[in-house]
Amino acid sequence: MKTKWNNEFFARIGLVPAFWLYYNTQYGYTLESYIDYMKNRQKTKHTRKVQKTKERGQEYYTPELVRKIQYAQRLATY
């Protein structure tokens, strides 16, 4: 877990996400499958975002973004 405040964190401490609660009652999804689904969904969204910026001829990881990422990761470790 790279950041402290993500879906997995809230599910582990007992706060039930509304998205999971709906799909649990409708289709019987477990909490583990919900967490895996959300992780995979975010990974695909991120790769798509990086790919689109490359197609536009732009750089995704600008020095400004790298600085913000490092700052957020420093805060998550405390």
* pLDDT digit string, tens, across residues 21-53: 998 999 998 999 999 998 999 999 999 999 999
Question: Which tokens in the block code for residue 16?
Answer: 């039930």
| Residue 2, pLDDT above cutoff 70 | no
User: Which residue bears the tokens 């402290």?
Assistant: 4
| Mean pLDDT, rounded, for 17-22 | 90
CA distances to 42, 73, 75 from 67, in Å: 21, 10, 13
* pLDDT digit string, tens, across residues 51-70: 999 999 999 999 999 999 89
**Alpha-carbon distance 73 to 36, whole Å?**
22
